[in-house]
Amino acid sequence: MTGRVPPTTIAVGSDYDVVIGSGVLGGVADLLGPDVARVLVVHPPTLPELTARVAAGLEARGVVVHLAEVPDAEAAKTATVVAELWGQLGRAGFTRTDAVVGVGGGTVTDLAGFVAASWLRGVRVVQVPTTLLGMVDAAVGGKTGINTAEGKNLVGAFHPPAGVLCDVDVLETLPQADLAAGLAEVVKCGFIADPVILELVESAVAADPAVARSAANPHLRELIERAVRVKAEVVAADLKESSLREILNYGHTFGHAIEQVERYTWRHGEAISVGMVYVAELARLAGHLTGPDGDALVARHRSVLESLGLPTRYSAGRWDELLTAMRRDKKSRGSTLRFVVLDGLAQPARLVGPDDVLLQAAYGLVSRAGQGRAH
């Protein structure tokens, strides 16, 4: 009888570890450290059983647990919710040796991280992402934030967690559309740094497209580990997104604009999928991707993402709204737009201040069919 594969631990520099495995939820207390007396567990209303398991594991180690249920999805990431959590921490007398634990998708880990960063100028936080997107993106890297009416994640702080715990078993109940959206961020890591990711996705799709976009994907744990390694290496070299870390934003400038224009009714990964195709077309128009190899790489964006059921086109007639949203993006410098592009597979580069004619031409190439979501 074959035993369970032991967890994989990926170090993010010397700051913290990301633990990936099956049945690892009991390890939250180990990541927090021995001196934590109280923990605020921030969670959405949709995960009562998982939250109870995390809380029970902490209580078994003598930790006093305070539960904080927050709204689901982007509705959690508001100043009002943050203020409510600050109030709960204050009433419970949380000190700098106490901690916050975020249990949920990327919105919860973003929120929990920001609350931890801002309470007493910073207390420990352990993230327990329960979605694929959270595991490979939001929970890893120490970027925290909330939304305002003017845009997504415009208020936030860099606050590395004490640890991240990714239990792949929880993905078995994740809706397929949410898992596919998380795979968009995994695919992004393939294009910017680790082409083996693309090969694993393509081989899984060739064997069975339905399985490839589900938790039954035989490569899913390896895909998670590879994506986390990409992010861990970049984050360790550039904690505060001053240079190298910007490559992790591949596809995000246009993707975030879609999210804002659609009032966050699109899943993040769906918007980033279109954003990657957009920036691939932009790179070709700007001369970063040339010749047959460049054409093939642009086509590979579409083929890989569409094989996972992700959209690669966006509605025509929305250019003015999208451009306005992009100019408000936090990655812009003044009025100058910045894009991460590719010079080739796993060869990221920067495109600063491209002409508006090129920007609109690339939009035309992702909106010619006049489609919205291509599901």
Q: Which two three-digit tokens encode residue 122?
A: 């910073």
CATH for the 8-172 domain, from 3.30.70.370, 3.40.50.1970, 3.60.20.10, 3.40.50.2300: 3.40.50.1970
143, 159, 213, 301: which is the annotated catalytic residue? Answer: 143
Contact 370, 314 (CB under 8 A): no
Q: Is residue 115 scored above 50 in pLDDT?
A: yes
Strands 16-21, 163-167: pairing is: parallel
Long-range interactions of 94-98: CB distance < 8 A, separation 24+: 94/38, 94/40, 94/119, 94/120, 94/123, 95/120, 96/120, 96/122, 96/123, 97/35, 97/36, 97/37, 97/123, 98/36, 98/37, 98/38, 98/39, 98/40, 98/123, 98/124
Q: Is 72 annotated as a binding residue?
A: yes
| 11 annotated ligand binder | no
Given a cut of 60, whether residue 373 has pLDDT beyond it is: no
Q: What is the tens place of the pLDDT at every residue in 164-204?
A: 999 999 999 999 999 999 999 999 999 999 999 999 999 99
The pLDDT of residue 239 is above 70: no
- 252 carries an active-site annotation: yes
Indicate which residue of 38, 53, 249, 270 is catalytic: 249
- State yes or no: is 245 an active-site residue: yes
Q: Do the annotations mark residue 152 as ligand-binding?
A: yes
**Whether residue 300 lies in the annotated active site:** no
Q: What's the predicted TM-score (pTM) here?
A: 0.90
Across the chain, what does the average pLDDT equal? 91
Please report, for the chain, the start and end positions of each structural domain, with discontinuous segments joined by +.
8-172, 175-367
**Percentage of residues of the chain with pLDDT beyond 90:** 78
| 185 in active site | yes
| Phi-psi group of 314: left, alpha or beta (phi > 0 → left; psi -120 to 50 → alpha; rest → beta) | beta
Among residues 4, 91, 121, 333, the one annotated as catalytic is 121
Q: What is the percent of the chain where pLDDT is above 70? A: 94
| Ligand-binding site membership of 107 (annotated) | no
Query: What's the mean pLDDT in 340-351?
Result: 96
Q: Any known ligand binding at 49?
A: no
Across the strands, what pairs with 146? Answer: 155
268 is in an annotated binding site: yes
pLDDT at residue 1 is higher than 50: no
Q: Higher confidence at residue 374 or residue 278?
A: 278
Catalytic (active site) residue 241: yes
Which pLDDT score is estimated for 244? 72
Known catalytic residue at 159: no
Task: Name every residue whose Cβ is closer than 8 Å to that of residue 2 and which is 6 or more positions away in sequence.
Answer: none
Residue 76 labelled as part of a binding site: yes
Was domain 175-367 assigned CATH 1.20.1090.10?
Answer: yes
Catalytic residue of the set 241, 262, 306, 321 = 241
